[in-house]
Chain A
Amino acid sequence: MPRPATKIKIKREAILAELSQMAEGRHAGCETLIARFLRDPQYQQAAKILSDAIQVESYRRLARRDEIPAPPAWLLPI
């Protein structure tokens, strides 16, 4: 089992390695959302479903806004 001082040294080296990756832009956290999207089909499918759903919903709202209310005292259409 490594001694506490060795453990700290190993941890420091790991942090320094991670910081070097960040400085060079190779760290996982540096990955942009677009890069991940282009690679991942599940992401693309999720985006398609959401986009379709939003379009359908906005179409419905628009359609409802175009309805003209019947003038007062008129009978409602059958």
Chain B
Amino acid sequence: MGCTSGVVMPKLDGVSVEYRLWTEDRLAIKLAQSLTTLGLAEPGAWEETKHSPTGYAHTALTRWIALHGSDQVRQNFALNVTISDSPDLYGGETDRRGLLYLMVDPDSAGYMILGPTLEMLGDIHPRLPATFYRLLVGAIQRWVRIYDFTDALERVEMWREWAEGDGDQDQYEYPDVEGCIPPAMKLKPLSPKRVQRIVGNTRNQLSRQLLRAVLDLDSVSRRLRRPEISEETREAFMDSNPPLPVLLVSFKLQDAVAGCFDEESQNFLEASPEPNLLLEFDPADQQGVRRTFSILAVLCKTMAATSRIAAMLPGNGDEG
């Protein structure tokens, strides 16, 4: 038996193994309080997230998105929802007004080919292709950026201006965007009421389903309005690029619109892009938090309805 050294090891049982300083989480605490009071956070998540206000708010946000169709949205779109204390995720300073910012942005753009659908609808009524297009694109554009033939036309126009500056315009070749737009797109769109009447008289089941779905999408996307951003927040994006497109809409697979998108996409991240959706809110203001979550719900439902349409479009699965 050896001699004892006289030193007794202290017991560390019951000593906390993790310490946390909450100072940087003040806004998260306020948000967690509002979400709890409003019933937007599941009380069971408090234990699951080990009493972390940030984790608790994150779980509430994820649950909210799932309740409003995230599974359907994911089938066609790769969108991220972020809540941050700075409106500019690319190196912005923390806001001094104590506001939080909910932002929605894509990882990549979804792709829709509308040519075959427009052709099918044109057989029912000559003005139906333009109507369907306007309803679809208009509804989505209320919430996120779409890249379509109008962006491609602007791009070609810009290239022409650059070439004029060079002085030798003939050495350049431009994508024929104008030529790839179906002629029916130039006709005046019908009113939604007229579309509803056509739906009732159409025998073609797919056309009927598509028209109903696009009318539904239009009404879902109008449920709330995108709120104005304060001047101070707008200033953070003065030198930013436009938002990243969430969806590319072309008429045929790899047509001139898709070609312009491929070319332009190389410059999308030259400067930090504006978020597609930016909602600023005071986490302590319960009505503001409710409004923010309600707006997010409308965006999710709009994108879920778009996903349902994408699944029905003839020829849309050919993008390979």
Say whether, besides A15-B36, A16-B37, A18-B51, A30 and B21 are in contact (CB < 8 Å): yes
B21's partner among A8, A20, A32, A40 (CB-CB below 8 A) is A32
* Residues A25 and B22 in contact, CB atoms below 8 Å apart: yes
In the complex, what distance in Å separates the CA atom of A29 from the CA atom of B44? 19
* Residues A23 and B30 in contact, CB atoms below 8 Å apart: yes
In the complex, what distance in Å separates the CA atom of A16 from the CA atom of B286? 14
* Residues A15 and B9 in contact, CB atoms below 8 Å apart: no
* Residues A23 and B26 in contact, CB atoms below 8 Å apart: yes
Render A3-33 as a binary contact track against B, CB cut-off 8 A, 1 for contact: 0000010011001101110110101011111
B43's partner among A11, A20, A23, A32 (CB-CB below 8 A) is A11
* Residues B46 and A15 in contact, CB atoms below 8 Å apart: yes
Query: What chain B residues lie within 8 Å of A76 (beta carbons)?
Result: none
* Residues A33 and B19 in contact, CB atoms below 8 Å apart: yes
In the complex, what distance in Å separates the CA atom of A25 from the CA atom of B32? 16
Query: What chain B residues lie within 8 Å of A11 (beta carbons)?
Result: 43-44, 46
A15-B46, A49-B10 given; 11 more Cβ-contact pairs under 8 Å:
A8-B43, A12-B43, A16-B36, A16-B37, A19-B33, A19-B36, A22-B53, A27-B22, A30-B20, A40-B15, A42-B12
Interface: A78 (CB within 8 A): no
Interface: B29 (CB within 8 A): yes
* Residues B19 and A42 in contact, CB atoms below 8 Å apart: no
Question: Nearest residue in B to A16 (C-beta to C-beta)?
Answer: B36
Query: What chain B residues lie within 8 Å of A22 (beta carbons)?
Result: 22, 25, 29, 53
Interface: A55 (CB within 8 A): no
Query: What chain B residues lie within 8 Å of A16 (beta carbons)?
Result: 33, 36-37
A29's partner among B7, B19, B36 (CB-CB below 8 A) is B19
In the complex, what distance in Å separates the CA atom of A13 from the CA atom of B264? 53
Say whether, besides A8-B43, A16-B36, A19-B36, A42 and B11 are in contact (CB < 8 Å): yes
In the complex, what distance in Å separates the CA atom of A27 from the CA atom of B26? 13
Interface: A63 (CB within 8 A): no
Render B1-33 as a binary contact track against A, CB cut-off 8 A, 1 for contact: 000000101111001100111100110011011
* Residues B12 and A19 in contact, CB atoms below 8 Å apart: no
Query: What chain B residues lie within 8 Å of A12 (beta carbons)?
Result: 36-37, 39, 43
In the complex, what distance in Å separates the CA atom of A8 from the CA atom of B20? 27
Q: Which of A17-71 contact B (CB under 8 A)?
A: 18-20, 22-23, 25, 27, 29-33, 36, 40, 42-43, 45-46, 49
Question: Nearest residue in B to A45 (C-beta to C-beta)?
Answer: B10
Question: Nearest residue in B to A40 (C-beta to C-beta)?
Answer: B15
In the complex, what distance in Å separates the CA atom of A43 from the CA atom of B20? 18
- Quote the shortest CB–CB distance from B177 to chain A (angstroms): 55
Q: Which of B156-190 contact A (CB under 8 A)?
A: none
- Quote the shortest CB–CB distance from A8 to chain B (angstroms): 6
Question: Nearest residue in A to B39 (C-beta to C-beta)?
Answer: A12
